[in-house]
Amino acid sequence: MLKLNSFTVTDEKTHPTQVMRRRATLSHKYELFYRDPLNPVQAQDAWITDASGRKYLDAYNNVVSVGHGNRRVIDAMTNQAKMICTHTRYVNDELCRLSERLTGKNEGNNEWRSIFTCSGSEANDLAMRVAMQFTGGNGFIVTDHAYHGLTALTQAITTSMTGYLELSNRLGLEIATIPSPVGKNEGNSFIDGLQTAINDMHSRGIRLAAGIFDSFFTSDGLGLTPKGFLDDAVRLLHDNGALYIADEVQPGFARSGSYFWGFQTHGADPDIITMGKPMGNGYPMAAIMFKALLDDYIMDSYFNTFGGNNVAVAVGHAVLDEIEERNLLENAHIQGEKILSELEQLKESCVNISSVRGSGMSIAVDVVTNDGAPNADGAIRIVEAMKQRGVIISTSGVSGNTLKIRPLLIYTNEDTNFLIDQAQSAVRTVFS
């Protein structure tokens, strides 16, 4: 069962016609959100409208981070599609310019190179292979509720899903896990967990390939403090001959409100950076950037049918233009701080909220019982209560008791206030 972000499975009883149609033709392994699933038909900026005309503020979807129906992105997509859409085996200066813009977001003296893919999974899959080729190792260190993708290789290190251990054994990978560094200053123990994992690998005679971490530990429940703990961890990885793969699929693209990439909040030095979700604001695109010396350890040649096609390139530029010209990093910081401080106050008044943490538009709230134990049921009730109030959020974390709140980068003051008002109302009602 994927605890990550599927908090309920709908069946025929709750939504007969459409759910039965799904079950007759789609894999039953597809899940639906909510007891009474959402049927969204239109969306603009931060708001989704369902088939009944009801509007919902989107505080969950982390792909459309520059806004649903973003006209600059759609125009870029349409105009480029009308001109030409082909692949990377022909000359395309705009492809190079996009790579230059993205690698330029990471300051430093290293030369970086890029490969464009369709999905974050493809990017992480390639990153893992490069790390294995470069180090000669097959040992990976991850956190214990991580999500890194759905190809065989990336699922084998996705500890938030069952079956990863069987899969990693089958594929000859060795996985060591570190307790999720979530909660206030839990990062302090991260370095100890990493040392233990490295010792474990060494004692078993396993050569390390890489530590791969979502820089914000999003699926683990959001681990952010103390600042710098990841930098210390990376130095320890490097001292032990392992690479550091920064999985920026979720924390990247200004979500932190402080830096373009999540790892920059720690001053950490990645060898490989993978990205995806918000990169095309919904257009399927992703990429991997790596230090130039790793280029020799990629397969003999690389071609991706859709990755880096002209439309993806045009869309990628438009998303960066939106972030830069509309100062969305700053907006994510301002709105995020306001939400965070209001939720902190809510926590002070409610025994069932034990922790509020966040950075920019990544916010986590831990829900507990009156005795302070993880309360996954309470978290789901808040998610449903928020839906009734017209706000879409979700849950995550090892115990499933963490509210996952991911506002879009383009939130207005009104959006932010609406989110806060409904969160206060929902928490008070659920725990009244």
Q: Which of residues 155-214 bind a copy of itself (CB under 8 A)?
A: 155, 161-163, 167, 170-172
Hey, is 76 helix, strand or coil? helix
- For 151, which DSSP code? S
Q: Which of residues 338-367 bind a copy of itself (CB under 8 A)?
A: none
Contact between residue 124 and residue 247 where contact means Cβ atoms under 8 Å apart: yes
Nearest CA-CA partner of 314 in 84, 64, 62 = 84
- Which of 29, 107, 325, 371 contacts a copy of itself by CB under 8 A? 29
- Which of 52, 109, 203, 305 contacts a copy of itself by CB under 8 A? 305
For residue 79, which phi and psi values (nearest 5 degrees)? Answer: -65, -40
Tell me the closest approach of the beta carbon of residue 140 to a copy of itself, in angstroms: 13
Q: 202 Cβ partners below 8 Å, 6+ apart?
A: none
Q: Which of residues 268-297 bind a copy of itself (CB under 8 A)?
A: 276-277, 282-285, 290, 295
User: Can you tell me the distance from the alpha carbon of 355 to that of 377, in angstroms, rounded to the nearest whole number?
Assistant: 17
Tell me the closest approach of the beta carbon of residue 424 to a copy of itself, in angstroms: 26
- Residue 115 as a binder of a copy of itself (CB under 8 A): the answer is yes
- Say what the alpha-carbon torsion angle 19, 23, 24, 29 is, to the nearest 10 degrees: 160
Cα-only R_g, the chain: 21
Count of residues interacting with a copy of itself (CB under 8 A): 102
- Residue 320 as a binder of a copy of itself (CB under 8 A): the answer is no
User: Can you tell me the distance from the alpha carbon of 423 to that of 23, in angstroms, rounded to the nearest whole number?
Assistant: 34
Stretch of residues binding a copy of itself (CB under 8 A), selected from 174-182, 237-245, 299-307, 348-356: 299-307
Contact between residue 278 and residue 102 where contact means Cβ atoms under 8 Å apart: no
- Residue 81 as a binder of a copy of itself (CB under 8 A): the answer is yes
Hey, is 427 helix, strand or coil? helix
Closer CB to a copy of itself, 40 or 226, in the complex: 40
- Residue 376 as a binder of a copy of itself (CB under 8 A): the answer is no
- Residue 28 as a binder of a copy of itself (CB under 8 A): the answer is yes
Stretch of residues binding a copy of itself (CB under 8 A), selected from 64-72, 322-330, 379-387, 417-425: 64-72
- Residue 43 as a binder of a copy of itself (CB under 8 A): the answer is yes
- Which of 14, 69, 184, 376 contacts a copy of itself by CB under 8 A? 69
